[in-house]
Structure 1
């Protein structure tokens, strides 16, 4: 499998585990093996417990973590930060803590799929922290990357399905390596940019302003 992530393979990354749906076991294992740290957002500790994963840190109000998992990690002396605020969900609390650390790239697993409202909020929260982290999110079916303005070279596989979406807008978007190339175009809310195809093993993307969501169908890689 050829992943778009990481953009910078020399930069360590943290994996954040949530309480939602996960991609394949193989992909999850691959991402966890190379992680510099594994951090659970509250109920993400249930996934860690079920799969014999020892996180470096658990953060949240602890209302979603099962007693069995919580007691297990307490016995293992896992660091736990209890964050009581009801004004933020557990992902936002977790990212606020992580933003205090020396981390530039994060991977988020288990934050998409179970509830549509939570999936939408996950993208909104990732946007709030765009200046802090390069963020890649994995659902059961997609690899989702949120990009700031700049020039990017992304590894891909010939024929893989990839969408470029303004979030809400991206300006002067140009690409090479895609079936339907873009040349200094504006991507705004709507279907423009969806369901493109990689024609080479490397995609180049450049844009000057706004934010861009890259969404790739994992079934085509």
Structure 2
């Protein structure tokens, strides 16, 4: 697998989502319907900063009208709305500009960057090196979903994640970019602290896993999956590791890859959903 001597990158997404000290993150909400309100509430309550990419503020405003959060004051925690603002509704603009927190509304007309890019740049400027969780963006149109995966590559150029790690979180899965090298992904935290979270726990993931060579072909080796592979070429149009399974006894999934790949793992559905 090459002569790379760098230690494996450790991933602890559960610790981040359960608000462990030292695992703070900025929340970027993208313009997609918020279908998992409990998941949104968990993230909203613990994020260090909250940024809406343009029309995403409409979705948050919609939750405010439904009173989806415990109190109306919770919505005043939105720190910034940023983008070209062509999708921001008059109602959402009025609501957030008059909130007690005085949400900052920034119009950035740059046509060579997306609202997503503008939001990420703002978080990185405000909180250098901090991890970012992106809510939404992988549902809806196929071209938009592929654009968000494209942005994962754009935003994670450092081989050591010096700018912070990025996570895409939807109601069904968690996705992030594995840079070329070795990775240890902690998929269960058996001794996780008990909190007041509606959706997250120390064992939030379902069994389905995918490792996707979106940018270019790679060669991967895995450990901890039902169908582990060793020095296995993978590419679009060739063989791909999709719909693999985390074993019941697995707490850490090891992945070694020669090129950057997307790692995605399913979230458990809330009780009563199928």
If the TM-score is normalised by the length of the shorter chain, which range does it land in?
0.7 to 0.9
| Length, aligned pairs only | 219
User: Counterpart in 2 of 1:95?
Assistant: 120
- How far the C-alpha of 1:186 sits from its partner, in A, is 3.3
- How far the C-alpha of 1:24 sits from its partner, in A, is 1.5
Question: What's the CA shift string for 1:156-179, capped at 9, x where partnerless?
Answer: 469611111123347453222110
Gapped regions of structure 2 (runs ≥ 5): 1-10, 65-74, 158-162, 189-202
User: Counterpart in 2 of 1:155?
Assistant: 187
Q: Could you tell me the TM-score, scaled by structure 2's length?
A: 0.71
Kindly indicate whether the alpha-carbon contact (under 8 Å) linking 2:82 and 2:115 is maintained by their aligned counterparts in 1: yes
Aligned partners of 1:220 and 1:106: how far apart in 2? 23
Structure 1 counterpart of 2:13, from 5, 9, 15: 5
Aligned partners of 2:262 and 2:56: how far apart in 1? 24
User: Counterpart in 2 of 1:145?
Assistant: 176
> Larger % of strand: which?
1
Kindly indicate whether the alpha-carbon contact (under 8 Å) linking 1:160 and 1:220 is maintained by their aligned counterparts in 2: no
User: Counterpart in 2 of 1:70?
Assistant: 93
Give the direction of change, closer, same or farther, for the CA distance of 1:159–1:50 in structure 2 (3 Å limit): closer
Kindly indicate whether the alpha-carbon contact (under 8 Å) linking 2:206 and 2:268 is maintained by their aligned counterparts in 1: no
Choose 1 or 2 for highest CA Rg.
2
Kindly indicate whether the alpha-carbon contact (under 8 Å) linking 1:151 and 1:205 is maintained by their aligned counterparts in 2: yes
Kindly indicate whether the alpha-carbon contact (under 8 Å) linking 2:131 and 2:164 is maintained by their aligned counterparts in 1: yes
User: Counterpart in 2 of 1:168?
Assistant: 215
Give the direction of change, closer, same or farther, for the CA distance of 1:210–1:104 in structure 2 (3 Å limit): farther
Q: 3-state DSSP class of the match of 1:92?
A: helix
Gapped regions of structure 1 (runs ≥ 5): none
> 2:224 matched to 1:177?
yes
Q: Could you tell me the TM-score, scaled by structure 1's length?
A: 0.86
1:1-221 counterparts in 2 under 5 A? 5-6=13-14, 9=20, 10-52=22-64, 53=75, 54-76=77-99, 77-101=102-126, 102-131=128-157, 132-149=163-180, 150-156=182-188, 160-169=207-216, 171-189=218-236, 190-199=238-247, 200-219=249-268
Q: Which runs of 4+ in 1 moved over 6 A?
A: none
